[in-house]
Structure 1
Amino acid sequence: MLSPFWPALGQVGRRGRVDTITQVVTIAAVLLGAVTTYVTNHLMERSRQRATLRVRWDEKKLDAYAEYVGCVRGTIHVSVLLYEVREDLRSMPRGEHDLTMDLTQASGAQALAFERVMLLAGDAVVDAAHKVQEATAAIGWQARGVVDGSLEEWRRLHSTAFRCINTFHQLARADLGVSGSFEGEQHTARGLLLPGSRTGE
């Protein structure tokens, strides 16, 4: 004969199993929430670190690009002074020898700035910088008298150099994510602060 308490014991057993399952589900949910929170925080931290690193490198690139263009402009400026003194287009206290030394120093600074661009920039910007280097070297050669040429040829060298500089500007802006259009050709002629052609040239 079954005990009158047997159904009650069965109900207690079922309640115990239900309570156990509930506890397991609760613990699993807590663990899942903890894992999800950890993974989310980890991914957010990695994303934040990548963004911080990207900003840091962009700042270094901006400094390198600005320094390089400044050195290029300085080299061209000294080249113009040397050329004009050597060709008797300008008189100034500093003579040809001093200006040649200035140009050597400016070219050295430009070379160091170029190396920094090489370390930080992508292929497109580096290729544009190479073209700037070639164009400014040609200006320096004629300024020193290493290469002969007319004033008109001198002006063409500068037009080429400023086109190369503007291309470098465009690609550097794109590399840094700078928005807005930049029409390089509109700026080229503005940089040519050179004397007009002399009679017979």
Structure 2
Amino acid sequence: MALEDQLPALVGVVVGAVGSYVAAHFTERSRWRRARAERWDEKRFHTYMTYANTLKAQLRVAQRIGAARGFQNVADPLEPDEGLALLADAESRRASEWEAVLLVGDAETIGAARAWHEAVWNLELYARGMREDPAGWSRAYGQISQARDAFYACARRDLGITGPPPPSGRWPRPWQQPDLS
């Protein structure tokens, strides 16, 4: 059998092998990209969740110190002498978690997270005794609620979570309003 008789079959084998290699390459590349995206989505979710929980714990300490200073709508007062050390520890944990948010978050979510922790810092000024206005305490609380809602909206968008955001946690809640009847 002459080479020219076998050439079409040989070309078919080469084309088939190249086509198979290219298809396998693109399939594996697509699978790798999908797996990488899933890993980063999981990492972002964990980072956002941990940051939110850490900031909420810091806020809770500030609230309790504020209750001891006489600010309203907070239970479980915590004396400032004991609470300020806890507040400093909570801030250290928050600052550590913040670095992870900076690494994996998108720009909007980072901005929303920053606005939320700055709103908590504002409330801490009352807990630390640097501000004493009860109306300012209530406004600071409202700012925290708005900043938290914005953070969750941005984080959900970044994570690709569809559907409406959760109901607002606006402060104070309707059941906390004084009965004016």
Query: Under a length normalisation based on structure 1, what TM-score does the superposition of the two structures give?
Result: 0.79
Please say which of residues 36-45 and 80-89 is displaced more in the overlay. Answer: 80-89
Q: What is the RMSD of the two structures over their aligned residues, measured on CA atoms? A: 2.5
> Are residue 125 (structure 1) and residue 109 (structure 2) matched?
yes
> Which residue of the partner structure matches residue 3 of structure 1?
none
Q: 1:124 is matched by which residue type in structure 2?
A: E
Residue identity opposite 1:54 in structure 2: A
Alpha-carbon distance between aligned partners in 2 of 1:137 and 1:127, rounded to the nearest angstrom: 15
> Compared with structure 1, are the counterparts of its residues 78 and 182 closer, same or farther at alpha carbon in structure 2 (3 Å cutoff)?
same
Runs of 4+ aligned structure 1 residues displaced above 4 Å come to 88-94, 190-197
Assess if the C-alpha contact under 8 Å between 1:65 and 1:172 holds in 2: yes
2:129 paired residue among 137, 145, 159: 145
Q: 1:100: which partner in 2?
A: 84
In structure 1, stretches of 5+ residues that fail to align are: 1-15
Distance across 1 between alignment mates of 2:76 and 2:82: 11
Which is higher, the Rg of structure 1 or of structure 2?
1
Q: CA deviation at 1:87?
A: 2.5
Give the 3 Å change call, closer, same or farther, for CA 142–193 of structure 1 in structure 2. farther
Instruction: Report Cα offsets for 1:10-39 as digits up to 9, x if no partner.
Output: xxxxxx7xx643411111111001001001
* SS of match in other structure, 1:112: helix
Contact 2:62 2:127 in 1 (8 A): yes
Shift of the 94–163 alpha-carbon distance from structure 1 to 2, 3 Å rule, reads: closer
The answer to whether the Cα contact below 8 Å between 2:113 and 2:151 also exists between their aligned partners in 1 is: yes
The residue that corresponds to 2:145 in the other structure is 162
Deviations along 1:98-157, one digit per CA (max 9) or x if unpaired, are: 1111111111111111111001111111111111121111011111112x2422211111
Shift of 1:195: 6.9
Residue identity in the other structure for 1:117: V
Gaps spanning 5+ residues in structure 2: where? none
Identity %: 25
Query: What TM-score, normalized by structure 2, do the two folds share?
Result: 0.87
